[in-house]
Structure 1
């Protein structure tokens, strides 16, 4: 019996023709060869945390949730080889038990490592890259069932395309990541004036391993978060952190969000109340435990990467536009920083970036607000996060990525029949607009 599926936010609902859950790479190879005979379309699903229809299909949907675990850790080279279906949460726990940590993580760990890499998931830290940038090699099974290994030295073009591919090249089965010996972080949260944050932005970015902030619309208040390595012992009174994250940031905020949904005109007041409730607290603990924050209040999200030095004028325009249009928004604007990289479809390609995310509570209209914010991001050279909502199509995106055509050529070579494409991918990749000759991988 066919089973309808939904993503985390409820923005995407679909019913696949069938769902396959291979447990080994050999099963994936056989599955692809068998479905090729019948010219079956294929999409991949991770944990469903993308806000866009990346995985939507009425054909075969492949889940890698049974392809789990850490295969090996090379202590000398500080490299971990992991199976592609492993969640960030399970890998964090396995690393913790083995005495290792991710270089960096975002604040949600429900994603599979394959999904996180394929969409460019990131944390914050101007000298730290996204999860895709932490990859040093990977294994990919192509549409015809061929297994390819790639790194910077082996199949280099494929490596640069596959580190962020939207699941359009093949199926990731194995990933090798840089890791660090287990380390502790000291986390400080505090409210600060928006003007102070913008005036000290360079110092905050440069002087802290991780810095991020949340600006509350209709206020001049920011929640600033600083995380730095420490040799101090983990905090003993964990209940304070749990209370802040579960009760204040989720329970109370959910009640306020429901009020805003029922009475949208309350949104500015709810935002101001939330800003007044920003907690002042600090905590020390293992890196993987402090990167993550529970996200129990559901929402829709759009996120763009802009040049890091463009953040002050972008925020000023966002503030003026929100107040001018009186958008019913109470969710804070999230701001994180990512080091520039050389990955072809990375939003941080060749530029240190500020990632600016806007949210709307689930059940509240978001289109007008997101559209207005998107226009600001685009004026400053913004590139959308691939797992978040945006309105761009292939022709728009091609102008923003210098290696766009290179990616399409590799994609065409590996999947000339478009078996890994769904209607959404065809639209954002411009696949039906332009055909490219197949190259020879380096």
Structure 2
């Protein structure tokens, strides 16, 4: 396969830096856009080129695997995925842009095997690793850094391992920038770079010795949560404030289920340990002890029904996917006290098993208004089935948090076990200054409590968790925790992630995310958003959100000046990114003479 011609999947697959240079020069010569995809963990419009005139635009959702139709160049770097040691004494490693951090089970090109991943190979062959990982490690090294992704810690960050970048600019010229350059300022433009400065061909890491982690996860009510989510903390009770807990916990995250009648928190925390001879891991179990895959099938079926009550035909593919999951769901519904709505669901599932999913949809369709009215009562009962409190668990460990020990590269990405197919999840990620944590959490608490109608309250909270975790302050220009050391971001950021089940019928922006964005903005709490996740929609010419986010980033204009210098033909600038930065007047690529 030649990287200069597209494959049957619509992507170009260059195998070397030279082939990447050739593709960029072709795009400049022919007046085409060029974009690179990694693991497709970002919204599709942030990844791909624009569609051809008259062609259908891709849905702007996470996990879109195929590029849009048209002549523009969409690139996948699955064949450019090696790594090599630059300086063994300093543990400097140069990783090709297409190598995945960890296993990527959804990689369409077959390059996502664990044994081909960077973290596994570093650990296995050198005994090295990175200081932290994200909650998943499916991403390519270039995709992870391009979007400014981060793990959950105020003490450690993979960004501290970043030593340098090699990239091809919009003229087809190669650059290498490192943090040890005479003037390292431009190095700090590259995490994130959003694919707007060029095509990164390699990321250079300064690794550390491999280490292990030991930790626990408690599932409690708000009252029993080991963290005071909304207050100043209670030292006498050993219950710190959220800000203090984030500061003092080496690695941590909370999953908050704020819905009325649910109101529980999963508190995950871990500490760093030196490697021990003969260490035997006891990994974290994301979905319990028995059968994690079966549990995800169950959750997927329940979420598909809840998220599509108004039009259950939209849930048909999920319900038809696995009849074993339908049977298990029916068993659980029969075992639990779920009220009239639960009994109706049980009858529908029984009909689906006996007569097919169409029969279940026919049975449920006239009852949809009843189910929608009863959902605020039904939903907490369903959550009890798949997220029981520690105090309600049976067995010898009843009432105790789950404990685990693992290698850091395997245990820190605690969500790797969550299937992108069985429970596809999307989110927006709002970063706020750490010192505003108590103010922001009180604002959210009151926002969820305000509606007198339980249905309206559930719509505000959504039917999934809200993740809370932290990130260190950074010098990278467009990183959402950027700080110059003298501003209120100097202590790092609290990140607030409302989850959305991707197979829901509604649009997550309108149904859930916009509520958070407007709540923070209207309250005067500054926030920045993860660049690869959902952002507010902004019509061409409307600068409302453009100007808001511009005010949050002191190096915004510096980044745009560098973008114009490195990509004078605007090969990497799509309509989506024009809208994000208000660059509507910037010309599109035009063909040039050879």
**TM-score, normalised relative to structure 2:** 0.66
Residue 450 of structure 2 is aligned to residue 335 of structure 1: no
Q: Would the aligned equivalents of 2:431 and 2:494 in 1 still touch at CA under 8 Å?
A: yes
C-alpha separation in 2, matches of 1:38 and 1:31:
10
Report the alpha carbon displacement of residue 145 of structure 1 after superposing the two structures with TM: 0.9
How far apart in 1 are the matches of 2:280 and 2:424?
A: 29
| 1:302 shift after superposition | 0.7
Name 2:66's counterpart in structure 1: none
Partner of 2:493: 353
Q: Match of 2:467, SS?
A: strand
Higher deviation after alignment, 112-121 or 66-75:
66-75
Q: Residue 267 of structure 2 corresponds to which residue in structure 1? A: 224
- Of 157, 173, 176, the residue aligned with 1:146 is 173
Identify the residue that residue 95 of structure 2 maps to in structure 1: 82
Shift of 1:21: 0.8
How far off is 1:108 after superposition? 1.2
Q: How many residues align?
A: 420
In terms of Rg, which structure is larger? 2
Give the CA deviation at 1:176: 0.9
Gaps of 5+ in 1: 1-15, 436-442
Q: Quickly say closer, same or farther: Cα 1:106–1:420, change in 2 above 3 A.
A: same
CA contact (8 A) 1:302 1:357 kept: yes
Which segments of 5 or more consecutive residues in structure 2 lack a partner in the other structure? 1-7, 52-71, 103-116, 234-239, 310-371, 394-400, 484-488, 538-544, 588-594
How far 1:197 moved relative to its partner? 1.2
Tell me the distance in 2 between the aligned counterparts of 1:426 and 1:206: 37
Which residue matches 2:137?
109
Equivalences for residues 47-86 of structure 1 within 5 A: 47-57=39-49, 58=51, 59-72=72-85, 74-86=87-99
Aligned positions of 1:240-319 closer than 5 A: 243-244=288-289, 246-247=292-293, 250-263=296-309, 265=375, 266-271=378-383, 273-277=385-389, 280-292=401-413, 293=415, 294-296=417-419, 297-319=423-445
From the superposition, tell whether residues 54 and 236 of structure 1 become closer, same or farther in structure 2 (CA, over 3 Å): closer
Residue 73 of structure 1 deviates from its aligned partner by: 5.6
What is the CA–CA distance in structure 1 between the aligned matches of 2:148 and 2:36, rounded to whole Å?
Answer: 16
- The answer to which structure has the higher strand fraction is 1
Counterparts of 2:547 and 2:561 in 1: how far apart (Å)? 15
307-316 vs 196-205, which moves further = 196-205
Give the whole-Å Cα distance in 2 for the aligned partners of 1:185 and 1:36. 48
Show CA shifts across 1:84-130 (max 9, x none).
1111111111112121111110121111110110101111111223x
Structure 2: distance between partners of 1:252 and 1:222: 21
Distance 2:221 2:73 in 1: 51
1:103/1:178 contact within 8 Å kept: no
For 1:348 and 1:237, the matched residues in 2 are separated by: 33
The yes-or-no answer on 1:423 pairing with 2:572 is: no
**What RMSD in Å do the two structures reach over aligned CA positions?**
2.6
Q: Is the 8 A contact 2:86 2:92 kept in 1?
A: yes
The question of whether the paired residues in 2 share the 8 Å contact of 1:44 and 1:62 is answered with yes
Tell me the TM-score normalised to structure 1 length.
0.87
The partner residue of 1:373 within 511, 516, 519 is 516
Tell me by how many angstroms 1:370 deviates.
Answer: 1.0
